[in-house]
Amino acid sequence: MSFSAHFIHAEKNTIGVADGVGSWAKYGVDAGEYARQLMRTALIAIHNQRPPNAVVKLREVLGEAFQKTMASGSSTACIVTFKDYYLHSINLGDSGFMIFRKNKCVYKSLISQHGFNQPYQLQWGISIPYRPKVDKVAVLPGDIIVLCTDGLLDNMFPAEIEDIIEKGTLEGVNTEQLASSIATMAFFNSIEENVDSPFADAARWAGQEHIGGKRDDITVIVGHPLVKNVLLMKAQQKSQQNPFY
Ligand SMILES: [Mn+2]
């Protein structure tokens, strides 16, 4: 059982991830239910948006999903939509996305958090501490978009992802294989006890001690804009509950 959830709306070139906060399990709450409902209601909101060929209005979508999700628990969320060679995004918490161009990371979204390892979250009936803005960044055909939960961001430096993308590009792999390779490497880093990790770096900055990776669910969606203004997308999820996946 994974705490994170995602959706892919291929027709509207829109993808999203949500990461349920695991500590709810202590209170007998299914920590993934809030995230799953949030992504389900976001998908419906996107599907119902009129006119159908307009750019997906991410603030409205996330706002509607937030209003309609009444499960116990809380979650981060990041949704991105591709239209006319721009990637529009909305991000609350510590999930995020990166854009790779010619095997180099050229853009990385910002996270929003109260403090180290305390991301902003959506929770029913609780007002969020800030209003997330929609960001807009240009993308080119051939770019690779990686949307993910903190399970990836905490366990892989962009340079490690660059290496996988470079190797994958040489071998002509598709988005599905790329998502799988990235998630697998993040998984192995997460259970390593001696590697340097972005999470360990962030801990150090916060004056805390942490060595090695960070065990967490890992969700990765890889998108690849084509010349026809279409985003090809595939997702990969790795749950820490089953180390043998
Ligand atoms: Mn997480």
Domain assignment present for residue 177? The answer is yes
CA of 224 to the centre of ligand 1 (A): 24
Does residue 26 lie within any of the structural domains? yes
Q: pTM value?
A: 0.93
* 68-82 mean pLDDT: 95
Model confidence at 242, pLDDT cuts 50, 70, 90, reads very low
Question: Is 80 exceeded by the pLDDT of residue 245?
Answer: no
At 27-74, the pLDDT tens digits run 888 889 999 999 999 999 999 999 988 999 999 999 999 999 999 999
Q: How far is the CA of 60 from the centre of ligand 1 (A)?
A: 25
Say how many domains are in the chain. Answer: 1
Structural domain range at position 177: 4-238
State yes or no: pLDDT of 7 exceeds 90: yes
Digit-coded pLDDT (tens) for 109-129: 999 888 898 899 999 888 876
Quote the percentage of the chain above a pLDDT of 90. Answer: 73
**Which amino acid is located at 150 in the chain?**
D
| C-alpha 155 – ligand 1 centre gap (Å) | 11
Q: Taking Cα atoms as reference points, which of 74, 20, 78, 28 lies closest to residue 216?
A: 20
According to the model, what pLDDT value does residue 1 have? Answer: 61
Question: What would the mean pLDDT of 100-110 be, rounded to a whole number?
Answer: 97
pLDDT above 50 (res 243): no
pLDDT at 26: 83
Average per-residue pLDDT in the chain?
Answer: 91
How confident is the model over 191-197, as a mean pLDDT? Answer: 92
**pLDDT average, residue stretch 239-243:** 59
Cα(75) to ligand 1 centroid in Å equals: 9
Assign residue 84 the CATH number of its domain.
Answer: 3.60.40.10
In a domain, 173, yes or no: yes
CA of 3 to the centre of ligand 1 (A): 8
Does some domain include residue 243? no
CA 51–ligand 1 middle distance (angstroms) = 34
* Residue 130 reports pLDDT greater than 80: no
Higher pLDDT, 231 or 158: 158
How much distance in Å is there from the Cα of 63 to the middle of ligand 1? Answer: 22
182 CA → ligand 1 middle, Å: 16
108 within a domain of the structure (yes/no): yes
Q: Is residue 165 part of a domain?
A: yes
Does 128 map to a domain?
A: yes
Task: Give 172 Cα–ligand 1 centroid separation in angstroms.
Answer: 30
**CA of residue 203 relative to chain centroid, distance:** 21
- What's the 53 CA to ligand 1 centre distance in angstroms? 33
pLDDT at 158: 97
Q: What is residue 241's predicted lDDT score, i.e. its pLDDT? A: 58
